[in-house]
């Protein structure tokens, strides 16, 4: 029999498989612990922890901004007790744990270390990753807290601490994943991620916390978290370009001689942006193709892979859906012969040409960022965010106009009904609304049971370390053991460092002639309708685009703001993280004619109810409210019953049509807007309105 047929998974000729993960966490620490145990029993080889939005943004579960958000997109962790419950029965010295946490990464790592110490595990035996990439939070995901400079200091503290105390820990996971989700081109994804890594390594080098002789060890522990999209060949070449560029940067900029410290080490989650609500069963094929892009090329193979589930465009996946994605990885790793061969693409001229082109484009973008003063300066100026918004607008325009074809969306839309989503089948998991109240009750009990003096002293020590520029990791671990909560830890650093509101990428853009196509008949007609409605109103039609709650995924809100402005509507958009009352007061003060809310965290019912009720209580119930997000069909009915005028989900990709709907809503209520809504000035025509406010 041929040796090709007799090789087994234990053959020394096979490479070791990548870490096999699923990204998981929901409801409560106990529910998430049960899910982790199930997944580990099914053959998962590493944990990837999803935290809820209050935890990610440094709030306790009972904070006003946490309303409706607790346990929705991840697990709430408010204190050491929650972290102990989360890892109950999971020996941390045997586990490789990735934690998707950024602004409070130092705190969650401190809690993790405190749990390990209570388990009797030595710090040096821990292995895993804290994502800890705050720059991409300013650009795409929105879970930032502090300004860039102190945020960079916190990342530096974690890097300096872990290389000494936890040498197998990755202190930072530079995330190009979220850049692609925000619309980045491959060249932008390469350049923006590498610029972020450079900013961090420069900060660590210049901090004085790491001796020159040890700096290579820190470089060797920087890891990356990368996106793999559907353009299969481009994604393979992008990963090879990442490896080659990182090798150049670490060798030439930082003088790292040892190749093992220059290795591009990355984990991946394949693209969620391209998953479709229409014909969602097709997403299984998309996930497979995207995974192949990061495992086929041995010299650029991912070290850890986590896959989304086929139904993530519909809502929260069930355990069975996560198992389906887990099995895909296992089949690839253990049933195929992929791990028995050298790199399949070395010497391929088409691959070499594409890699060279991507590197050239990325180098040009890196030079531009470097000339601005680096990644932090490019964030503060709004340059990087503005470029992502513009690139995403081009991507969506190509879909809307049929230039980019997506099966089931704008091509091959005819379909049989799917047995996976048939009526009567619960095709997604929902979080019990009582989970939030249960978490709040347990939080109150935790506060009542702990020692107040120890908490106060540990927080004073933390504040002192932050004010004096000392490394905050040891004081944070002491806070964890004393019983400090996530909100308390974050508030101390808010008091010292201040809070930050990142540029939206919308307020800095001005639409030029090249951005407005006079041959676009639908848009020309829409502008005419906006002008006509504005004449009726006696003022230029105004739309408030709002992000209530803690959901920081602002891509949809930004693109609605862009398209509305192109249509001639005055857009009021102040970015993310507002309470419903903030948005109501803003709509009234700035005389909005329509309110558009974007919510992707699953908290739409509670937050929208508060906005609608607030407008009615203020005598402004005539202002229509429209909502966009990942919203199940059953919730659409609930939203409409509470008075929402229109609901849009990812399947609604025709932005001009959405704008036309909104203009129609305002037109139908034009006689209900009072003098206070109209303003004093004569409405400008569309041709006079090209700047984004």
Question: Residue 298: beta bridge partners?
Answer: none
Count other C-beta atoms under 10 Å from residue 97's C-beta. 20
Residue 636, Cβ density class (10 Å: 0-12 exposed, 13-18 middle, ≥19 buried): middle
Q: Which of 157, 321, 380, 551 is catalytic?
A: 551
HEC readout, 118-163 = HHCCCHHHCEEEECCCHHHHHHHHCCCCCCHHHHHHHHHHHHHHHH
What is the C-alpha separation between 112 and 117, in angstroms, rounded? 9
CB-CB contact of 470 with 499 (8 Å): no
CB-CB contact of 516 with 690 (8 Å): yes
Q: Which of 418, 409, 421 is nearest to 652 (CA)?
A: 409
What is the C-alpha separation between 7 and 561, in angstroms, rounded? 57
Q: Which of 47, 83, 31 is nearest to 476 (CA)?
A: 83
Angle at 182 between CA 329 and CA 605, to 5 degrees: 90
The enclosing H or E element of 601 equals none
Place of tokens 């909560």: 485
Q: Which of 63, 547, 591, 593 is catalytic?
A: 547
Q: Which of 23, 112, 144, 573 is catalytic?
A: 23
Q: Which of 59, 112, 177, 673 is catalytic?
A: 177
403, two tokens = 């230039």
Residue 23 appears among annotated catalytic residues: yes
Strands (E), 475-553: 542-546
CB-CB contact of 540 with 689 (8 Å): yes
What is the C-alpha separation between 196 and 203, in angstroms, rounded? 11
Backbone angles phi, psi at 219, to 5 degrees: -60, -40
Residue 178 appears among annotated catalytic residues: yes
Q: 213: Cβ–Cβ under 8 A, 6 or more apart, which residues?
A: none
Residue 661 appears among annotated catalytic residues: no
What crossing angle do the helices spanning 283-295 and 232-252 adopt, rounded to 10°?
30
For 248-293, give the DSSP string: HHHHHTT----GGGG---EEEEE-STT--SSSGGGHHHHHHHHHHH
DSSP letter at 621? T
Backbone angles phi, psi at 92, to 5 degrees: -70, -20
Q: Which of 359, 553, 591, 689 is catalytic?
A: 553
For 148-217, give the DSSP string: HHHHHHHHHHHHHHHHHH-TTEES-EEE-HHHHHTT--HHHHHHHHHHHHHHHHHHHHHHSSS-GGGHHH
Q: Helix H segments across 381-510?
A: 383-400, 434-449, 452-467, 473-482, 486-497
Residue 252 appears among annotated catalytic residues: no
Q: Which of 178, 354, 385, 689 is catalytic?
A: 178
Which residues have a catalytic role annotated? Answer: 23, 177-178, 547, 551, 553
């Amino acid at each position: 029999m041929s040796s090709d047929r007799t090789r087994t998974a234990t053959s020394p000729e096979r490479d070791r498989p990548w870490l096999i993960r699923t990204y998981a966490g929901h409801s409560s620490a106990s529910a998430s612990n049960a899910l982790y145990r199930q997944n580990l029993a099914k053959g998962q080889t590493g944990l990837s922890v999803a935290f809820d939005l209050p935890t990610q943004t440094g709030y306790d579960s009972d904070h006003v901004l946490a309303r409706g958000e607790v346990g929705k997109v991840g697990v709430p962790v408010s204190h050491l007790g929650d972290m102990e419950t989360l890892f109950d029965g999971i020996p941390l010295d045997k586990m490789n744990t990735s934690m998707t946490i950024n602004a409070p990464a130092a705190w969650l790592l401190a809690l993790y270390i405190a749990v390990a110490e209570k388990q009797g595990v030595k710090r040096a035996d821990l292995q895993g990753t804290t994502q800890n990439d705050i720059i991409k939070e300013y650009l795409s995901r929105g879970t930032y807290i502090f300004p860039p400079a102190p945020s960079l200091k916190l990342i530096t503290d974690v890097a300096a601490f872990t290389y000494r105390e936890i040498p197998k820990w990755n202190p930072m996971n530079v995330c190009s994943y979220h850049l692609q989700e925000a619309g980045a081109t491959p060249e932008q994804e390469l350049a923006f991620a590498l610029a972020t890594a450079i900013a961090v390594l420069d900060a660590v080098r210049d901090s004085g916390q790491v001796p020159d002789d040890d700096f290579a060890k820190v470089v060797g522990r920087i890891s990356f978290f990368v996106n793999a999209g559907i353009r299969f060949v481009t994604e393979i070449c992008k990963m090879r370009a990442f490896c080659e560029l990182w090798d150049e940067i670490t060798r030439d900029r930082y003088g790292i001689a040892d190749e093992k410290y220059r290795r591009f080490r990355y984990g991946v989650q394949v693209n969620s942006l391209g998953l479709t609500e229409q014909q969602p069963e097709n997403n299984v094929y998309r996930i497979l193709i995207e995974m192949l892009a990061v495992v086929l090329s041995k010299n650029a193979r991912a070290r850890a892979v986590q896959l989304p589930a086929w139904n993530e465009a519909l809502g929260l996946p069930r355990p069975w859906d996560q198992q389906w994605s887990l099995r895909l990885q296992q089949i690839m790793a253990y049933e195929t012969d992929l791990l028995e061969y050298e790199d399949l693409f070395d010497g391929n001229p088409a691959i070499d040409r594409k890699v060279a082109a991507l590197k050239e484009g990325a180098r040009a973008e890196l030079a531009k960022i470097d000339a601005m003063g680096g990644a932090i300066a490019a964030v503060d100026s709004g340059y990087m965010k503005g470029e992502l918004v513009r690139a995403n607008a081009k991507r969506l325009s190509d879909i809307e106009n049929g230039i980019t074809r997506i099966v089931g969306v704008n091509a091959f839309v005819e379909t049989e009904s799917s047995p996976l989503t048939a009526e009567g089948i619960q095709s997604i998991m929902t979080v019990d609304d009582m989970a939030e109240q249960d978490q709040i009750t347990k939080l109150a009990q935790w506060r009542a049971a702990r020692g107040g003096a120890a908490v106060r002293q540990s927080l004073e020590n933390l504040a002192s370390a932050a004010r004096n520029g000392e490394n905050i990791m040891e004081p944070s671990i002491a806070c964890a053991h004393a019983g400090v909560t996530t909100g308390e830890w974050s508030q101390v650093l808010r008091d010292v460092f201040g809070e930050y509101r990142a540029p939206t990428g919308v307020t800095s853009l001005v639409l030029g002639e090249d951005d407005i196509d006079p041959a676009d008949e639908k848009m020309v007609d829409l502008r005419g309708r906006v002008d006509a409605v504005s004449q009726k109103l006696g003022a230029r039609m105004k739309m408030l685009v709002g992000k209530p709650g803690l959901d920081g995924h602002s891509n949809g809100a930004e693109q609605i703001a862009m398209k509305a402005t192109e249509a001639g509507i005055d857009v009021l958009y102040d970015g993310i993280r507002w309470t419903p009352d903030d948005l109501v007061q803003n709509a009234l003060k700035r005389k909005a004619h329509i309110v558009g809310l974007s919510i992707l965290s699953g908290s739409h019912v509670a937050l929208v109810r508060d906005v609608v009720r607030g407008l009615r209580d203020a005598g402004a119930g005539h202002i229509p409210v429209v909502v966009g997000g990942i919203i199940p069909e059953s919730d659409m009915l609930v939203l409409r019953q509470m008075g929402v005028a229109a609901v849009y989900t990812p399947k609604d990709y025709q932005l001009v049509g959405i704008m036309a709907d909104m203009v129609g809503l305002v037109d139908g209520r034009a006689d209900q807007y009072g003098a206070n809504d109209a303003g004093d000035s004569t409405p400008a025509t569309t041709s006079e309105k090209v700047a984004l406010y």
